[in-house]
Structure 1
């Protein structure tokens, strides 16, 4: 998938050039040495998205003017540069004028980390982000609708905070919100329908127990975004904040009919979080011609051998996997995974062991 990766002034790395085999690599090192940053670089290059920040300028090494990432995923030479003048994108040497154009023929990513527990325990924003990241990879129109909805939502909230109400402008922005928001809601609903059996199957594989796991989409707007927004207008004017729309939607995750956040044990919650990410990869694999790259950030130390082996056996055999870890003790009890090359990450450098 990725044979070579080159970084310039990215996070803690001044300059770095690495080569990887098709099956992937294990990155070992102490904390704060740059292991996660390497996974972040792959995700940023392929999806123009960092799981750790929403601001690209924070990815730049301290006291440098910008960063660069280059790699060859799926045989394409892709380069991104963050400069004082903004983000520059190239594919096979040709500039791409927008993020949408850059992503139109890009690759697929599944990111798995300990923070995935927040999918069960955390606020609705975490679960919405899970769906948005999946939806944007499956459907270019989803990312467009998401971007335009957010812009219109920001404008509406600014209007609601003004001392004098400008109703015609408010209505104009609401029409944009209804158009794109309805697309987001309907797409998310279908995603949950498609994910549900895959999550249940992955949860069974990992836990080895036939536990009833169900997902339900909970739109904040009810069946009609237009009607709900009209009914909430006076409340939004009074609170000076938009309270209706897909930015308030959520996903219900239940185990044996009970909320998993309240009634599932920590081990069950961790298993469900893994199942959600595995199902994400399964759906990407089913719908798209390309297998995702799997970025697994320091998760194996928290898993018992049975769940660890089940997770590795569930991953597509031919998928490229980048695995970070602080130790290799867990490998001794691991089954079903071909030996991966091990690279030591230390003091902002990487060497093959």
Structure 2
């Protein structure tokens, strides 16, 4: 499963043209501002995930010297289906000229993206760890992304009530089944990650264990009861803070190494290796549940890895039956089987077999 070609029209600083891709690793090299990350972002959009810039609005996407407020991406996947995405104030998506949703597209061409910040998943914010679990679940549970969106909308509504000093019981009742369902799904997702991580013990420096920490909760095992009891316990605090503090929007994934908190037990280099293992575990989990190897996007993930870490990363990636897109700054000297695409001024100026 992967892309054969993608055409960029009026998209950021990418020169309007068609780019052809190969099975296995496609390595994008070039200096800062060359367009590497924008190419990855285009592939993310045409896979149903939207922009890589989290929270970026479609209207903020500049276009290629055209004066147009719209961009279009056209891609062919190896099943010979043609995907077209028009980027305006919202996304308009068609597959073989039939309108589909972003969720439909993610199911057709599964993709996982990892930005340079994701290499700090061990010591970073809880949002990065939630994102990993959410990406995994969105690819294996068709209704997950929709229900998560509905829950987030409800949380925003509750926050508005709290800010105005209004009672939020009506919103809480509406959020209860969504929150409980999301907790159950995330616990299953963390369990799947844990199972796949055990198979990658050669990458991890210690026994890594994962567990879901329910946001503002954890008073009892049953999800519905836990949400209700936690709301009751923290109702006055929520009113004082004027913000919802109970629910999946505040979840975290606890990561331990040999029983100790991984962020303090592991060195920086070993945390990076563990992050790589988590990425690969997510990919393996998707393949296990769907039978499809997801396309992987990796943006500057080698930036803080030493020579050994880079070798471990690419050896692990190339051992999988996946199409890979990785962006890295020049020079790149590892002798690995891949196609190297040199990017300058928003276009690929050279493509060559590395080995």
TM over 0.5: same fold? yes
- 1:118-197 equivalences under 5 Å are 118-163=120-165, 165=166, 167=167, 170-197=168-195
- Asked if residue 216 in structure 1 is aligned to residue 220 in structure 2, the reply is no
Q: Aligned partners of 2:62 and 2:174: how far apart in 1?
A: 35
Cα distance in 1, alignment partners of residues 332 and 300 from structure 2: 13
- Structure 2, unpaired ranges of 5+: 221-225
The equivalent of 1:115 in structure 2 is 117
CA-to-aligned-CA distance 1:192-243 (integer Å, 9 cap, x gap): 11111322432x3225x4x121111111222311221233222222222111
Between 1:24-33 and 1:281-290, the stretch displaced more is 24-33
CA RMSD across the alignment: 2.0
Secondary structure of the residue aligned to 1:53 is coil
What residue number does 2:11 align with? 10
Structure 1 segments unaligned to the other structure (5+ residues): none
Could you tell me which residue of structure 2 aligns to residue 239 of structure 1? 241
Q: Does 1:318 align with 2:321?
A: yes
Q: Distance in 2 between matches of 1:324 and 1:100?
A: 26
Deviations along 1:47-74, whole A, 9 cap, x unmatched? 3233323222233327530211111234
Question: Which residue is equivalent to 2:288?
Answer: 286
1:19 alignment partner in structure 2: 20
Name the one with the larger helix percent: 1
Q: CA offsets per residue over residues 245-287 of structure 1, 9 Å max, x none?
A: 0111111111122111123100111011111101010101111
The residue that corresponds to 2:299 in the other structure is 297
Partner of 1:206: 203
Q: How many residues align?
A: 338
Provide the rounded CA distance (Å) in 2 between the counterparts of 1:29 and 1:266.
26
Q: TM-score, normalised by structure 2?
A: 0.88
- Provide the C-alpha distance between the structure 2 equivalents of 1:290 and 1:102, rounded to a whole number of angstroms: 14
Cα distance in 2 for partners of 1:200, 1:268 equals 16
> What is the match of residue 84 of structure 2?
79
Kept in 2, the 8 Å contact 1:261–1:269? The answer is yes
- 1:14 Cα deviation after fit: 4.2
Question: Which residue is equivalent to 1:330?
Answer: 333
User: Would the alpha carbon gap of residues 301 and 156 (structure 1) be closer, same or farther in structure 2, given more than 3 Å must change?
Assistant: closer
Task: Give the direction of change, closer, same or farther, for the CA distance of 1:303–1:102 in structure 2 (3 Å limit).
Answer: closer
Distance in 2 between the 1:268 and 1:325 partners?
21
In structure 2, the partner of 1:66 is 70
Distance 2:152 2:171 in 1: 11
Q: 2:63 aligns to what SS in structure 1?
A: coil
Question: Given that residues 66 and 82 in structure 1 are in contact (C-alpha distance below 8 angstroms), is that contact kept between their aligned partners in structure 2?
Answer: yes
CA contact (8 A) 2:120 2:272 kept: no
Mapped to 2, the partners of 1:74 and 1:232 lie a distance apart of: 52
Q: Tell me, what secondary structure is at the counterpart of 1:25?
A: strand
Q: Would you say the 8 A contact 1:214–1:255 is kept in 2? A: yes
